[in-house]
Structure 1
């Protein structure tokens, strides 16, 4: 399992920059430059380059990691290893109310939640599948690790590995809590017995492994792209459009509709340490729903008071230079595999993505280490990215997708607020006690509604059977 995670994140990730740079120069920068040559309006350039182009770029950037994950999964399945792994951990997983087969999707979730949810289709029981699907988004994926690395560098220069480890551990605990509550309410029932035919170990056919990987990858790209591209178009449009109906300029990032929305929603996050001047952090949460990798870029752009309009000016567009950089990124990243093994936090930090001035502004805007950690807690637990939401809808249905969105937001908000209020109790004890009372009341109400929903489902089931 560890080798699968290592292979997907490090070997697959070594090719991620190539896909990112290449698709960016073709569909984002190239589209913007080409449209400018035809003197197209700025809103058309923003919509097609920052919207459609960025959506294609975001979708295709997943390919190397997802392909590596699918390749290794197919290798393990066809070799006969998966059945034995499920058998070994079955007793441990049954303590959580899940069969041993759920172990593999959970481990895969540390690389990417999308293939983790897709791997749940191997489970026999619908109840077990739903439990695994709804628990998987709390597994901290590699995209979140990049965000942790930035905040560790800014706020926790010493002992950063402990901060990251605590976040991974909290994610696991929240997944277990989610599974426990669902088993006692909406998804109560018996765990399906483990009936496995243990095949003999054998050498899988490379041709069959590649074919299986190709089919899974093609299905993922088509399905995820249908949701990512429209969301990118919406975000790109909101980012380009000003409140006065004009097109945003590079110097006027705070005037975009997206930035205004961030400022409007920021008061909601006051209890977890965000203040009105730190509205870029709220925008980062909004763009993070597209893909968690986008959070770092959003913070860098907004804290620097610049909006990158996909090089709409066209002055910096260098097609062959970008292609050359994309090609060179593969051997460079492969040479960094040793560092990734020894220090994954440093290896995951975006190279040169944040300037020292932006680090300084982040340090000023957040309320110290308590505010930064509360923000990381929210990043860890809140709404999954659109790719994950799309897969949940595909593998379960729309109802469970919306449940996952609502439940993860409530868990994230409650956890971040509880931590920040307790950490800063001495500064405002009365406010902290009132806030804690409200959060506890909210949690009790949600659990009560879940039990009520379970009772309603049970009554409908009895009526249908009679």
Structure 2
């Protein structure tokens, strides 16, 4: 199979071209040794099969410092080390000067280059008129004019690509008159040292002061090869040559104000920019969380019927062991069910983000809030995942892949789980009814604010002690606006969603299997003891309850401890666990399972959920809890027994203990799906670090909350004990943080790509 590398500047239409060429024949993985997404696909033309590897969008192949961006390292090392038959360089025809800078570097490699001159329609609207034939002659490489968004020119590109492989032309690279002498001398020195591949590229890199080039060449080249003349001189020479080349291949005509200029006059207006941005974020939140959530019941109930109940019926009918039924139906099937519930929300998120990216607004949104986010050492783009986190932490973490810098992705991912999601709100509402009927709204607001504060503190501490370097300078290109194609949006969304299901889903299913088995097996070895006092999980909860006594959980209130463990499944499961353990098993058995009735019931939820969308326009987070003093109505809304509320009041000795429990629920381990996505996006270390850090923060702050509250106005003896516990928890926090930081400094090294030394 013929292997092709696809490369270009960001916003050049590279992804659109990749989707147009490969369609649904794509594979998504990670580049070796790092968690940066790697996409490849296949297509057929003539009698040949092609593999197309989509490299990260970059502006420059050279590296002027040792810590250059990971995307540049990946692209450069792949081009220099992989077995590639040709390179397709996608260039925005309306911004040729900038795009041809990367082209000039690619032409110095010993790899055939085909220039895909994309967005010819945009160039024409901007008054830019090109002569592709003259451009091809001047660059000594084939040029294919096209409009990838409309699939225009794909056939020409494929023909040109096949011809360049069958009959490769001699690529001399862009001539740099002032530096050709220095380049020739450097090439001569490299040849003398035994270097035989990519000679002109390595020579130019050495003259540019490229640190990676020195690392590659130092093993074989003599000291006299070090002839750094400075990157500015080489860059200026490249741009001068590009300007001379375009004088003979491009002409411009005056144009009236473009559509992009007219839109930017509003969305980047000094007074209107932020309100427009908030409106866009509001629409994204509504579409992702509220519209997406309208389909959650459909996916949840359908998946339960197909992956849990049907296997259970078949396995039980076959007379298989109970443990096997629990493992396959409740464990594996339950894992599939949990993954399925996130599909509509994540799908809606990716669809909206794809629209923002492809339309050109995402860069402007980042520009608008960049100054605010820079106070936390984050780029403006981080604002979007954090806002999404108030609906669900899973798509929030997935949304961090829109960030360009790995360090920014890490910090934003650490912050996102502290944004109080909708699942936590169900727990807050239950406790508000039981303990805070008169000021439940204030309670919820305080918890949301506490989560934001902890997220900010966590980001500042991690950046201070684990991240190297200053905040990167904000330099962003604002591309012209485009109307995305439906096909492109759906393809982009589908491949991102498939990546979540196939990759993060594995980790989610694994953890769900373990948790389901532990919650099902009884202390007597029997199975089917979920949410009962006889389960092994309940026994573990009883044994560990004394650990939580400093935050107000008494030994007799062990169901609260069990709720903490089941909350790892999903935070809304805490409500079901407390209801089952406080009120006992349901009086009526579950109705007999019928597949078609279950699927019909699942579909019936969609119109019901969509019908209430209008009520959510003014309260997308669902913070309006209604009349909390009506316990019976609130219990019915929460689908819990009224006796559960009474049992909760008896279990938690004081309102302060209940509030401290909510603080712990807010801050401790995010749900298994979020952990799985963090593992997928950042790797095992950061998933473990994030989990451990959240546990320390949750336990410490919950205990401090209870102890400080208990100390206020308490007798001398109680005050002394509370102060001792407060001092102890402060020490635990400091020690725990110090250990995590030491561990992090040892293992949280940024991924490094091994420089190629065998270049001869």
- TM-score, length-scaled by structure 1: 0.91
Following the alignment from structure 1 to structure 2, what is the Cα–Cα distance between the partners of residues 32 and 342? 42
Kindly indicate whether residue 291 of structure 2 is the aligned counterpart of residue 15 of structure 1: no
Tell me, yes or no, if the aligned pair for 2:689 and 2:740 is still in contact at 8 Å: no
What aligned pairs does 1:117-196 form with structure 2 within 5 A after superposition?
Answer: 117-196=397-476
**Are residue 339 (structure 1) and residue 619 (structure 2) matched?**
no
Cα distance in 1 for partners of 2:669, 2:654 equals 24
* Displacement of 1:324: 2.5
Structure 1 residues 45 and 456: CA distance shift in structure 2, 3 A: closer
| Contact preservation (8 Å) 1:183, 1:189 | no
CA pair 446-232 structure 1, distance change in 2 beyond 3 A: closer
Picking from 276, 283, 287, the partner of 2:566 is: 287
The answer on 1:442 being equivalent to 2:732 is yes
| Kept after mapping to 2: 8 A contact 1:32/1:314 | no
Tell me by how many angstroms 1:455 deviates: 7.1
**How many Å apart are 1:204 and its aligned residue?**
1.6
- 8 Å CA contact 1:128, 1:192 repeated in 2: no
8 Å CA contact 1:33, 1:314 repeated in 2: no
Deviations 1:233-257 (A, max 9, x none): 222211221222223458x921211
Contact 2:551–2:707 at 8 Å: present in 1 too?
A: yes
What secondary structure sits across from 1:345 in the alignment? coil
Tell me the SS of whatever aligns to 2:320. Answer: coil
**Structure-2 change in CA distance of 1:180 and 1:45 (3 Å):** same
Contact 1:84 1:198 in 2 (8 A): yes
Question: How far apart, CA to CA, are the structure 1 residues paired with 2:358 and 2:430?
Answer: 39
Flag the structure with larger Rg: 2
Task: Return the alpha-carbon distance in structure 1 between the equivalents of residues 500 and 749 of structure 2.
Answer: 37
SS, match of residue 294 in structure 2: helix
Moved over 6 A (4+): 347-350, 454-461
TM-score by length of 2: 0.57
* Segment drifting more, 168-177 vs 48-57: 48-57
Query: What CA distance in whole angstroms lies between the structure 2 residues aligned with 1:189 and 1:249?
Result: 52
1: distance between equivalents of 2:586 and 2:331? Answer: 14
Q: Aligned residue for 2:325?
A: 45
SS of alignment partner, residue 140 of structure 1: coil
Query: CA separation in 1, counterparts of 2:406 and 2:293?
Result: 33
Note if contact 2:294-2:610 (Cα within 8 Å) is conserved in structure 1.
yes
Given candidates 377, 386, 411, the residue that maps to 2:672 is 386
Please list every run of 5 or more consecutive structure 1 residues that lacks an aligned counterpart in the other structure.
Answer: none
Alignment correspondent of 2:551:
272
Distance 2:351 2:746 in 1: 43
Displacement of 1:378 after TM fit? 0.8
Q: Which has the higher contact order (CA 8 A, sep 6+)?
A: 1
Q: Note the aligned Cα RMSD (angstroms).
A: 2.7
Alignment of 1:293-332 (within 5 A): 293-306=572-585, 316-332=592-608
Question: Could you say if the C-alpha distance between residues 373 and 114 of structure 1 is closer, same or farther in structure 2, counting changes exceeding 3 Å?
Answer: same
Question: What is the Cα deviation at residue 272 of structure 1?
Answer: 0.8
| Separation in structure 2 between the aligned mates of residue 354 and residue 339 of structure 1, nearest angstrom | 23
Q: 1:456 to 1:298 in 2, by over 3 A?
A: closer
The counterpart of 2:525, out of the listed 236, 245, 265, is: 245
Count of equivalent residues: 458
Distance between the aligned counterparts of 2:404 and 2:647, measured in 1? 51
Q: Distance in 1 between matches of 2:745 and 2:301?
A: 52
User: 1: distance between equivalents of 2:352 and 2:445?
Assistant: 25
> 1:444-459 counterparts in 2 under 5 A?
444-449=734-739, 452=742
